[in-house]
Structure 1
């Protein structure tokens, strides 16, 4: 991981340079990120449980896939790459919204990111990369909201931050994409 670099950006997502990923997380430097949310034909969201040996947020539930574009990599290409690397899935991704966050992760790390959120529809089952995820499940958005209310510490900080925007965005997205599953 020490060789992976991220794209440093300003608050408007304009590239400023690059930095090693772990350094960006320990120094809290703003960088570009991607998050992917895959829904099945029943409108359920595929969650992943981060592998138990991840350097932050190990064993926590999160969105289907997340990660960072590499320098010189298009954001949508990074989303496709990470979806395949983490979950063994390929799907047509749609950019849905962007957001900024600066969230403490513990152990002196933070997720100071300008995030690009993508949605997809698929009924394919994942083939997990055990270095990335050690569990997955589909869940209805209402059930996820209930679980978050009861057990927020079982979810990643960025998922907790982003999830309130997901139901309304998902309803519109799924209404227009139900035939693509």
Structure 2
């Protein structure tokens, strides 16, 4: 999609690093970042978060990676500030990842997000989707494309354990990650919340004869299911089911083509382009 197709895209593209730090004073510049997973909680008396699950409120203090248009890290911003539509409407952008985990027979693991989630609660989505944090091993400190991809992969292993209870040692030894591409999209969620991300897309496929321990956290995941291509298409045709916007974007534009190429992804992996969907 052309970068000139929307006024919003033009706004985001126009923001230089100094503009971002000036417009969003809560963002901690890269050189001054705390290099910790979370900032100290300031959410106890926050009316916006009143009534939400305590664990999900705590996670809103995680330090996401704030970006410019070209996916360069500018600094650390809390998950809360990165997901407020009032900030997104002004162009605030952060880094994310999405994992599509396949078994050795080519079935895809889906999750339904827990009711406790603050954004996109109860929606069906891909196996795992979250954010690299603004810490050394997930940031890609040298700024290289390869470093950023590896940082997102490390974050994916962390969150596969946190959300789905999949032990990291099993992930690292029983299958393989393939980085496909990056998509840039914006989507409102509910009320004050939304997403504006450059999302690193990974396929993970188990080797023949291997399996994973999957023990989802009830605070993160309401339900899981393994699906074939046709079963997923049937789910999309079921008007009672709702899906996250990034999952639909990836499926509508890429997933079924990739699914057909699971046996050999070399032609479609490691795409360096940022695919704009604004």
TM-score in terms of structure 1 length? 0.89
- What is the aligned length? 176
Q: Which runs of no fewer than 5 residues in structure 2 stay unpaired?
A: 1-58, 139-150, 266-278
What is the RMSD of the two structures over their aligned residues, measured on CA atoms?
1.7
**Distance in 1 separating the partners of 2:70 and 2:263:** 30
The reply to whether residue 94 of structure 1 matches residue 182 of structure 2 is no
Q: 1:1-181 alignment to 2 at 5 Å?
A: 1-26=59-84, 27-28=87-88, 29-72=92-135, 73=138, 74-89=151-166, 90=168, 91=171, 92-122=176-206, 123-151=211-239, 154-164=242-252, 165-172=254-261, 174-176=262-264
The DSSP-based 3-state class of the residue aligned with 1:150 is coil
TM-score in terms of structure 2 length? 0.60
Over 3 Å off, 4+ runs: none
The DSSP-based 3-state class of the residue aligned with 2:153 is helix
8 Å CA contact 1:13, 1:114 repeated in 2? yes
Residue 152 of structure 1 deviates from its aligned partner by: 7.5
- More displaced 10-residue stretch of structure 1: 27-36 or 138-147: 138-147
The DSSP-based 3-state class of the residue aligned with 2:263 is helix
Counterpart position of 2:54: none
Deviations 1:134-171 (A, max 9, x none): 21000112321232233385111111111121111222
**Distance in 1 separating the partners of 2:197 and 2:258:** 20
Judged with a 3 Å threshold, the aligned counterparts in structure 2 of structure 1 residues 108 and 144 are, in CA distance, closer, same or farther, namely: same
The structure with more strand, counted as a fraction of residues: 1
Deviations 1:88-140 (A, max 9, x none): 22423221111110011121222100000111113324110111112100011
Q: Which runs of no fewer than 5 residues in structure 1 stay unpaired?
A: none
**Distance in 1 separating the partners of 2:81 and 2:115:** 21
Question: Of the two structures, which has the highest relative contact order with CA contacts closer than 8 Å and spacing of 6 or more?
Answer: 1
Residue 39 of structure 1 deviates from its aligned partner by: 0.7
Highest Rg: 1 or 2?
2
Residue 31 of structure 1 deviates from its aligned partner by: 0.3
Judged with a 3 Å threshold, the aligned counterparts in structure 2 of structure 1 residues 139 and 156 are, in CA distance, closer, same or farther, namely: same
